[in-house]
Structure 1
Amino acid sequence: MAIQHHHQVHPGEPRLPAALAVLTAVALYSLLPTRLLIEPRFVVPVLELLLFVPLVAANPRRMTRGNRGLRRLAIALVLLIAASNAVALVLLIRQLVVGHAQEDAPTLLLAAGQVWLTNVLVFALAYWELDRGGPVSRTQVSRPRLPIADFRFPQDEDHDAIYEVAKRSSQKSGWAPGFIDYLYVSVTNSSAFSPTDTMPLSPRAKILMAVESVSALVLSVLVISYGVGQLK
């Protein structure tokens, strides 16, 4: 018996969660110590906001409008946030390895938290933008026409579970992953250093998760070592 695919009309994913993530990442970078920044201090944040404003203007409340230009702009924004945070991470590692006076310890440890949190946010944004063609595609394109998935969520295979679980499955409810789902993937990957309930399927998803895990692991080890060193 052939399976029929019915495309349900979706109002579009809410813009707010991803928008708050971008603004939080911009703020966290702006508040880093000067020695961890690409100077002048506000050049990168201003560039990020200049890329962000037209994206919000195109989809202010829900993600329903998409085209190649907007997608390139969104990916450019994610790359800029990722690149600036990568530079901050390298400079922070240098500061932690070289070692400084004890009075710098609180500042460096706080900066490490900022860099770690920004890392979580930027990888969540990257997963959100890439998987199945992006947030607009996931809700506005019928399943047979969706690009190949980069991630496999539990909801993608729960259709044959017990009723109260199967009811939330992709097949029976039309569920599509949203930003919070990708944020959860990023948080667990940065804290457990491996996938938990969501599996990467594509090579690019596996590479991104590997980079996130390694960077989080290196930062965690160095911060713990630095903190222990300050207790001596």
Structure 2
Amino acid sequence: MRGKQMHHPDSNDAEGVVVPSVAAFIGILLTGLLYLVLPPNVIIGPNWLLLVVEGVFVVPLVIDVMTAWDLSHTARRMLVLVPLGVSTLALVVGVALFILTLPTDKHATNLLRAAALLWSFNILVFALWYWEVDGGGPWKRHLSGHRAADFLFPQQAAGEHWAPHFLDYLFVAFTGATALSPADTY
């Protein structure tokens, strides 16, 4: 399940495009697992809810990647963007609830644990957004002749035929969340 060869009707590339997707699926799964272990004071509803919502949308994607089932590009994008939007909403609510509990929770370990989990959740959510939005999404980025649109990685600036993978966006999200400075992109 490393990736799927996809054909697009508007493409001049007859060979198809292989888009690596395993790391992104793991990233989606990790956001649900992080939400599962968040303290109850920073979540709304049951802690397993996000994992179930993600599962409902990701299972068809996994089936699409592993089999000959050929979802349209639009359907594939919706199956990713909807749970990503739900994850973003869960993150915003979690951070807001964390801020509201700061004055009342006097246990440093509880606060540090919640903050570290929310920070990790934030990095994963941003990495997934970067992966899905940059350059029109993972499928378009891996087309031959695609030019960088949003993030310009040094490998792309050097003229190499190179397309970023999910781990590259994870690094960009990590550096953005850690240093509040530009990452290794232009």
- TM-score band by shorter chain is 0.7 to 0.9
1:187 alignment partner in structure 2: 174
1:118 alignment partner in structure 2: 121
Using the size of structure 1 for normalisation, the TM-score is: 0.67
Q: Flag the structure with higher helix content.
A: 1
Change over 3 Å in CA distance of 1:148–1:66 after alignment to 2: farther
The question of 1:35 aligning with 2:37 is answered: no
Cα deviation 1:181-225 (Å, max 9, x = unaligned): 1111111111110212213xxxxxxxxxxxxxxxxxxxxxxxxxx
Whether contact under 8 Å (2:58, 2:80) holds in the other structure is yes
Whether contact under 8 Å (1:21, 1:121) holds in the other structure is yes
Q: Counterpart amino acid of 1:184?
A: F
The question of 1:99 aligning with 2:104 is answered: yes
Q: Measure the CA separation in 1 of the matches of 2:39 and 2:89.
A: 17
Task: Select the structure of larger CA radius of gyration.
Answer: 1
Cα-Cα RMSD: 2.4
The question of 1:142 aligning with 2:144 is answered: yes
2:152 alignment partner in structure 1: 152
State the secondary structure of the residue aligned to 2:163. Answer: coil
Change over 3 Å in CA distance of 1:32–1:179 after alignment to 2: same
Cα deviation 1:150-187 (Å, max 9, x = unaligned): 1111111113xxxxxxxxx2xxxx21111111111111
Q: Measure the CA separation in 2 of the matches of 1:117 and 1:18.
A: 15
Change over 3 Å in CA distance of 1:8–1:195 after alignment to 2: farther
State the secondary structure of the residue aligned to 1:38. Answer: coil
1:57 alignment partner in structure 2: 63
Q: Measure the CA separation in 2 of the matches of 1:8 and 1:181.
A: 27
Percent of pairs identical after alignment?
A: 36
1:129 alignment partner in structure 2: 132
1:43, CA displacement in angstroms?
2.3
Using the size of structure 2 for normalisation, the TM-score is: 0.83
- After TM superposition, the runs of 4+ consecutive aligned structure 1 residues lying more than 3 A away are 6-11
Q: Measure the CA separation in 1 of the matches of 2:158 and 2:13.
A: 19
Q: Measure the CA separation in 2 of the matches of 1:148 and 1:197.
A: 14
Unaligned residue ranges in structure 1 (runs of 5+): 1-5, 160-168, 200-232
Q: Counterpart amino acid of 1:185?
A: V
Q: Counterpart amino acid of 2:104?
A: G
Q: Measure the CA separation in 2 of the matches of 1:66 and 1:147.
A: 23
Whether contact under 8 Å (2:17, 2:139) holds in the other structure is no
Change over 3 Å in CA distance of 1:119–1:60 after alignment to 2: farther
Whether contact under 8 Å (1:59, 1:65) holds in the other structure is no
Q: Measure the CA separation in 2 of the matches of 1:147 and 1:175.
A: 10
1:197 alignment partner in structure 2: 184
1:212 alignment partner in structure 2: none
1:58-97 equivalences under 5 Å are 58-60=64-66, 66-96=72-102
Whether contact under 8 Å (1:124, 1:185) holds in the other structure is yes
1:35, CA displacement in angstroms?
1.4
